[in-house]
Amino acid sequence: MKKKLILDVDTGVDDAQAIMIALAAPNVEILGITCCHGNTPLENVLKNTLRVLKVCNRMDIPVYPGCAKPLLSDMKHASDYHGKDGLGDVPDPNGPGLDLLQEKKGVLALVEMIDKNQGEVTLVATAPLTNLAVAVQQDPGLPQKLKALYIMGGNVESRGNTTICGEFNFAADPEAAHIVLERYTCPTYIASWEFSCRNSLPWAFCDEWLAAQTPKAAFMRSISSLSMEKAKSADYQKEITTGKGFNACDAYALAAAIDDTYITDSEEVAVTVELQGAYTRGMMVLDYMEHLKKKHKVVIMKTVDLEKFKQMLVRALM
């Protein structure tokens, strides 16, 4: 049986990579894609998601508009890295129109898809967690119906990439991240910022990967040019914790969701999100001393099989 996935995205370049990995995986069925504010405003996220599906000839996958703003926080976007449109500022004048979206709202679609496939759905969240937080308020029993939840977000060493101590997805909606980590008690796997930095892709591989002569590779070369140029800058390389290469943040969480053997080292620990700190708001907190008395522990990804990851990326552009 194929693994049933729902993707919750804020489609920038790394979300596009994650979606394309999922589309190319022979053992995966994507039930739907829900969209959220994040890397770029929601309207751009919707357009970008449809563009990715078009280049992959998978317009059959339903795309749902989700939350356009965080629960309480001010809006944050990542236009300096992903481009103002979220996909490298290389618009497609023939891109799919928003009339191809599903009419059903993303949160309702999320609840209904999980309810109809109880115990079978793996939810991969690569955006701020607003959609997931609203969904669990609508259906408090939702987490018990999930097979697993994979999140790209949070940090494990208080290193921020958006605020002093905050990773983008969590800092973009700290309240939502807090709700999800408190109430989603299904098996939960987290690909943190520092983890993704330490497993960055060598530039030599990226050059070879993007040199493939296929329409998908041409698309990826186009949309990733801006972010890769940014990633090679001295200032950005100071942000990542080790290594010199390209950080395909969201794709790491997706890869883990489709291949059980991909994670080679991890640890289980209770976590929460700081909401009040002047410098630490949005920071993920790891409770090694178990002061929180939480029964639910998440799996913090530490290392992965990078060769398997490369193979997934290559297959995504074939």
- Which residue is associated with the tokens 């898809």? 113
Q: Which of 10, 14, 173, 259 is catalytic?
A: 10
- Helix H, strand E, coil C: the string for the chain is CCEEEEEEECCCHHHHHHHHHHHHCCCEEEEEEEECCCCCCHHHHHHHHHHHHHHCCCCCCCEEECCCCCCCCCCCCCHHHHCCCCCCCCCCCCCCCHHHCCCCCHHHHHHHHHHHCCCCEEEEECCCCHHHHHHHHHCCCHHHHEEEEEEECCCCCCCCCCCCCCCHHHHCCHHHHHHHHHHCCCCEEEECHHHHHHCCECHHHHHHHHCCCCHHHHHHHHHHHHHHHHHCCHHHHHHCCCCCCECCHHHHHHHHHHCCCCEEEEEEECEEECCCCCCCCCCEEECCCCCCCCCCCEEEEEEECHHHHHHHHHHHCC
Contact 304, 266 (CB under 8 A): no
Residue 307: Cβ within 10 Å count? 8
- Catalytic, 85? Answer no
Q: Which residues are catalytic, by number?
A: 10
